[in-house]
Amino acid sequence: MEKLRTVIFADHDALARAVARRMAEIIRARAAEGHPAVLGLATGSTPVGVYRELIRLHREEGLSFAGVRTFNLDEYYPIAPEEIHSYHRFMREHLFDQVDIPASQCHLPRGDLPRSEVAAHCAEYEAAIRAAGGIDFQLLGIGKTGHIGFNEPDSSAASRTRLVTLNGITRRDAAADFFGEANVPREAITMGVATILEAREIAILATGEHKAAIIRRAVEGEIDTEVAATFLQRHPATTCYLDEAAAANLTRIATPWLVDEVAWTDDLAVRAVVHLSESSGRAILKLTQRDYADHRLSSLVAGYGSPGAVNGMVFNRLGAKIRGRSKLPRGERVICFSPHPDDDVISMGGMLRKLVLNQNQITVGYLTSGNIAVFDHDVRRYLDFLGRLAAERALATDAVEALTERVEGFFRRKRPGEVDLPEIRDLKRMIRESEAVSGIETLGLPRSAARFLDLPFYQTGKVRKDPVGPADVATVRRLLDEIRPSLVFVAGDLSDPHGTHRMCKEAIDRALEGFAPRPEVWLYRGAWQEWSVTEATWLVPLSQEELALKIQAIFKHQSQKDSAPFPGLDEREFWVRVEARNKETAAMLDRLGLAEYFAMEAYLVAG
């Protein structure tokens, strides 16, 4: 069913290494032939890992870029090359300034030209690619609309480098980088579909579960002008490089029994029977031989002997996942690692409440300050309060006034996405910290349970962070050494808009290497997606009162309420998402014919 060659990797790092190795092979092969390699490059979070690996190959294995020519896919318009969101700046910071490539050999569309000159510039860009001999290897990402470059829905297969108007979904997806959709440019200059398809080899990269739906459409769907990535099916040498999350909706992964014979295991049988139950609208224990035959699952019945045997096995395995309070840890040392100062209550507020009632010793380790997700107007509100308090209580009025003047002066000249002054970042950090303490107190934890680790990788003041380094790992390890937990909760929700969850998990995983005795690790989700009932190891029921208390804890995060700075594509408030997802997990079990609960949280025990 796959119309593009597709390679799946265990994680983002393995994918990045494979793509970088292929690019290195091309660079070296072309150099041996006496010709410069011509690379088409992309921006965004997914290629960053590739660029880091290319830099490592340059520094440690002598890979030279001296003879390489590069052409970037696109650039926002209008935007100056030095602007913080400019792709010119992105490429310098993430690759060009770290290797031995001359600046004259790096080509990017210009976003700072007068509109009257853009058409001629686009024609010159096409001519420069032809003069270089064409692109040997084109690196692509894929947008949620299926765009490649900025070739939005309705782009022609014959399109060339040009100025385009950005789709609303694309602008919303970029809002996190620009600190709000209103700041995202409405236009961009992009290579056209035809330009891309002329590359001799193409690699399209996708990571994360939020790309799974569009990847299936691009790989298995029909060619459609609404999804520009489907045009790649016409290219003879295109490869999709995916991590497991991005590949999850491909037929061979989601429903492999529809593709070929499979070796049935109990886990695979559970997935198949749940899929059958959903497709047929029948509860598990009511599925018949005819249901299995109609959905190409006769071999499953044959393996277990009868429909009743399969139904019973799956029903019992799903039922065994349900863990009420009596089956949860009691009297243990527990660490909940929260990437931002609200992920704990958003994703596992019900669990935290149950663990409190079970008299566990709980520490909540907030890994980052979350300060970039605080609006400037919240800082103004708190400064106004400080000013009033100082005036009425005869406190240090001069100090408050001086701080207010510095902050207001900066805000008056601040550009979208500009890094805040250190004192403003501190104010925003303290706002998030006070909200986090209030949130866990709502669930019955003491304020002493909150530990603010403020990992260094996050402290750039920008949406894009530094790589996770030894200092981050050491900070996490110190808390592990101090608490010596038997159970650790980690965010396994990797679809956050700016990658912080993934980076925090990396720091924790590295800190746990060699840690003994190793605690049991439970992965939670909830802010963006939830574990399915087939993926989850444990399903934890929540009563109506427990869900209400969890929502109250989420409400304490006032700086994130009403309109969070980084909502992703789901514009609902976090508490609304949580309520819907927790109730849907319970409703799913009900539809499958198991016990009916009000709501549920789901957890995956890490292997």
The CATH number of 5-251 is which of 3.20.20.370, 3.40.50.1360, 3.40.50.970, 3.50.50.60?
3.40.50.1360
Bridge pairing between strands 187-190 and 162-165: antiparallel
Q: Distances in Å between the alpha carbon of 148 and those of 155, 515, 594? A: 10, 43, 44
The 10s digit of each residue's pLDDT in 318-343 is 999 999 999 999 999 999 999 999 99
Inter-residue contact 8 to 247 (CB < 8 Å): yes
Chain Cα centroid distance, residue 228: 22
CA–CA gap between residue 448 and residue 442 (Å, rounded): 13
Active site residues: 152
The 10s digit of each residue's pLDDT in 79-122 is 999 998 899 999 999 999 999 999 999 999 999 999 999 999 99
Output DSSP code: residue 227: B
Residues 6+ apart with CB under 8 A from 147: 153, 155, 167, 170, 228, 229
Chain Cα centroid distance, residue 42: 18
H or E stretch including 15?
Answer: helix 12-32
Output DSSP code: residue 240: E
Sheet with 333-338, strands from edge to edge, namely 450-452, 361-366, 333-338, 487-491, 520-524, 599-605, 538-542
Amino acid, res. 459: Q
User: CATH number of the domain at 325-375+419-605, please?
Assistant: 3.40.50.10320
Ranges of residues in the chain whose predicted pLDDT is under 50: 497
CA–CA gap between residue 329 and residue 537 (Å, rounded): 15
Inter-residue contact 199 to 239 (CB < 8 Å): no
Inter-residue contact 304 to 269 (CB < 8 Å): yes
Q: Which two tokens stand for residue 408?
A: 């207001």
Predicted TM-score (pTM) of this structure:
0.86
Fold equal for 5-251 and 325-375+419-605: yes
Instruction: Give long-range contacts, CB 8 A cutoff, 24+ apart: 172-176.
Output: 172/569, 173/143, 173/144, 173/497, 173/569, 175/566, 176/463, 176/497, 176/498, 176/565, 176/566, 176/568
pLDDT at position 499 is 79
Q: What is the largest CA-CA distance in the chain?
A: 82
Instruction: Give long-range contacts, CB 8 A cutoff, 24+ apart: 86-94.
Output: 86/111, 87/43, 87/111, 90/43, 91/41, 91/43, 94/47, 94/48, 94/51, 94/52
H or E stretch including 70?
Answer: strand 69-72
Domain positions in the chain are 5-251, 255-320, 325-375+419-605
